[in-house]
Every structure is written in C-alpha cells, then in structure tokens.
Chain A
Amino acid sequence: MNAKERILGKLRGSLQGTTPIVDDYDIELLNEPWRYPPAERVARLRQMLGAVHGESQLSSTTGWPMQVIEALAQRNIGELLIAPTTPHGQQFADFVARTGAPLRLKAYDRPVEEWKDELFFRTPASLTGTLGGIAATGSLVLWPTPQEPRLMSLVPPLHMALLKASEVLDNLYQFMHAHRWADGMPTNALLVSGPSKTADIQQTLAYGAHGPKELLVLILEDA
C-alpha cells in the first residue's frame, strides 16, 4: 500500500457509518450585503481600491491611450510593456505610432526565460487588460493568456490595467457565476486589489513589497 492508500484508508475508516453533510449553500448571505445599484458599482470599486492605494481614473474607449501616455510622462517613464496582439495592445501601439509619442514599446512576445533580466530590472511599467472588476472588494479580475502572460501584472513596478465599466460586477459570487468559473479554470486566475504591500515590520504598511509599487486602473465608462 502506498501513502495515498494508507491515508485514504484511515480517513474512510473514521467516517464509517456517517453520512456526508448536505450542501446548503447560502447565496443570499454572500450576495445581498454586497450589492450596489449599477450606477454606484464603479464608485464603490474606486473607493475600495483607493483605500489600499490603488489609483483609478475614469476614461473611455478612445481616451485611455492618451491617459496612459500622460501617466507615464508624469512619472518620467519612457518605456512600456504591452501585449501587442490583444485588441487594446494593438490600439495603443497604433495610437503611439500615429501620435509619435516618445515612448518605447516592449512586447511580451517570447518565453520569460529569454528575457528575464530585462523583465525584472529594465521594465518599469506594463499595461494589461482585465476580465472585469468586483465592486464589493475593489478587485480586478485577471485571466492571463498566452498573449498577455502572468508576469506582466506582477514584475514591473507600475502596472496599468484597463477595466470596462460594464464588466464590473457586485461581488465575487456574481462574478464566478456569470463567468461560469466552475466549468473550468485557466492555468492561472487572479484577483488583484491594489499595489503590492506588506505590514510585516511593526504593523507599518509599506507599498511595493515584491510586486508593483503602483497600480493604475483606467476605467472605460463607455465599454
């Protein structure tokens, strides 16, 4: 017998003669206290995000590229990591090309092993999309894809994320339900609520522990 069989054998023996507890899942408790009128969802998300140092700006499907460029300029950042094969990556690249903005665009277009050093030490900012947002906790939902890999939202010190207002739902229950997560999950799914932080030294909050020091969310009100 291997360890698995021995462990399972012990556990089964301990449950002999008992019946499993029925699932009486209390949807109302997870939903009702965390509902918001549609018009207030974005405000709630921004408020929650702001409370943990997450910055957010209202924007639009056409206006956001300019805001990205302004945000970078404010911070004296001259390069940006994007996912050029996504629609928003494409849109931004076009915008930069058209306006001649002085910005070097980097594409995450090869396995991380081939450019780890650059990603870790010479990539100050990134731009990604999101699957949506959760008003109750001020969270972004990210499902990294081959086009927009996991580390884009983690390694660069400034992470900028696009969020469609229509994709902001009330709470995690609604989000999981609407997106049918139980049917199958991607290799990696994330909820991101603010920039990286820690309170491990004398309960004093400090931002930028290992992940992004800043999170800037651009909310597309017309999308």
Chain B
Amino acid sequence: MNRPSSQPANATRVAPPLEGPRVYPARPSDVYLFGTCVLDVFFPSAGMDAIRLLEREGIRVHFPQAQSCCGQPAYTSGYTEEARAVARAQLALFAGEWPLVVPSGSCAGMFRHHYRELFRDEPETLALVEALAERTFELAEFLLEVCKVRLEDGGAPVKVALHTSCSARREMGTHLHGRALLAQLSGVERVDHDHESECCGFGGSFSVRMPDISGAMVRDKAAALKGSGAAEVVSADCGCLLNINGCLEKQGDALRGEHLASFLLRRTSAASRGGAK
C-alpha cells in the first residue's frame, strides 16, 4: 500500500501521503451491496434493512448472488494466498461502475485499503482494485455523504450508545458518520460510554486464539455500555455486535446491540418494522 509501484520490493517504504477529505459523487441510480459473511449468517435482517434504506432513497440495489466473503479472516490470520483468491472472486462481481456499499466498516476497509496491498504485485488487477476502492463506501458514510439523507425520527425519546469497530473508525471514519446520522434523529440522545474508542476485543480469530484477553476486553466494553445510561446500543459492524451481544447475553443482561441500518430504519419508518424479519 505504501510503495510506489515503480520501486523495487526491497526499497525503503515511506508512509502514504496524507489523504485529504474524501470527495463524494452525486447520488447514483444503482449500487452494489456487499453483504459480508458474518451479516449473511447472523444478521441478515440488517442487510435487508440496509437494502430498504437505500431503496427508500430511490436507488436500485444489486446483490450479486455469487458473493461470499471479502477475504479478511484469512488475511488477518496470515493466510495471504487464500485471502487473495477469495478477494479475486469478489473483485470480479463488482466490476461495473456502480458504487459498492458495505454495511460493515471493516469489510469496507478491506476493499478500500487492504486489497491494494494484496494485489500490489499485479499491476492489472491493481487497476481494478484502485477503481473499486474509489467507489467503495461504508453504509453510514454512503447514506450521509452520497445520499445526503434527511432522517425523520418517528420513535420515542431514547438514549443510545454507539460502538464503532476499530477498523471502521480508523479506515473509514464510520464513528463520525454514525454520530451524524444519529444526530438527525430528534428523539435520540447519543450518550458516550467509557473508553468509547477502545476495541471491544473481537478481532476475528483473536477472540478464540487469545480468549482470556479478548474476554477481558469485551467484558469491559459491556460494562461501559451498561454504565452509559443508554437504553439501546447501536453499531455498524456485525463482528463487534456478535461479540458484545454474546457477552451481554452470557451475563444475563437484557441490553443488546443492534445494527445501525436496522435501528435507522426502525426509527424512521414504522411501516417497515419487522418487514425484513
């Protein structure tokens, strides 16, 4: 990612240049949706809620049925070849001009940042990767910056805590987009939780390879959320939700995290409530 491709592999690397603020395109007629594997299995209704939110903006959503996983689990585990093969399969599915919307910041970050590193030695693929990176958006970012949504809150007053996955925060700025969207909801008061920016301890395989440390982290996160005074917890990343909800449930707590897409849809359209279930 940080080597000008004209340099040999053993060149000393310099950090990539500072990025200016992202320039957003006009609202498109069509988008691709990448569902992500965790959401596919564990939070499919959040995926449907994302589709409905996009459709409500007058956008046609395309969900290529051949999609699977972005490759991140293998990539972060060090199985680079396997990750590359899976990434390559996804690349082929989103070759059109439409933006790619991903209801998960860490998977969006995989498309937008890490594919570059994966394919750095394949100039032709890299061109595709660069083009796709340019039109990849995390859902909250897309709704806010491209669709420029104006949300009308129809729900009762409620305090909400927002947890943002670390990669979404650092690679996609999702915490800011999520906050901005919640701020549009007149009945929603967003409350901070202790060490808000700290990792929930998921980290994919980390949660099973280092169960004690991961467990300590998620218990701290659960305690912070419970202590925040929030009645609801919202996140735009399914990995974190799986982790945090699992911990809350194990502790016998009634609090549960909900995907941002589901929360937004629920608050803004009573009619669609439960529609995707």
Contacts and interface: CB of A to CB of B under 8 A. Distances in A.
A74 interface: no
Dominant SS among interface residues on chain B: loop
Contacts of B11: 18-19
A15 B12 CA distance: 8
A71 to B, nearest CB: 47
A98 to B, nearest CB: 62
A37 interface: no
Contacts of A76: none
B14 interface: yes
Interface string B1-37: 0000001101110100000000000000000000000
Contacts of A19: 11
B14 A18 contact: no
Contacts of A186: none
B228 to A, nearest CB: 27
A17 B10 contact: yes
Interface residues of A, number: 7
A16 interface: yes
Contact of A21 (B8, B10, B12): B12
Contacts of A21: 12, 14
Interface in A7-23: 14-19, 21
B10 A14 contact: yes
B10 A16 contact: yes
B163 to A, nearest CB: 29
Nearest to B14: A21
A97 B87 CA distance: 86
B7 to A, nearest CB: 7
Interface of A: 14-19, 21
14 contacts: A14-B10, A15-B10, A15-B12, A16-B10, A17-B8, A17-B10, A18-B7, A18-B8, A18-B10, A18-B11, A18-B12, A19-B11, A21-B12, A21-B14
Interface of B: 7-8, 10-12, 14
Given A15-B10, A15-B12, A18-B10, 11 more contacts: A14-B10, A16-B10, A17-B8, A17-B10, A18-B7, A18-B8, A18-B11, A18-B12, A19-B11, A21-B12, A21-B14
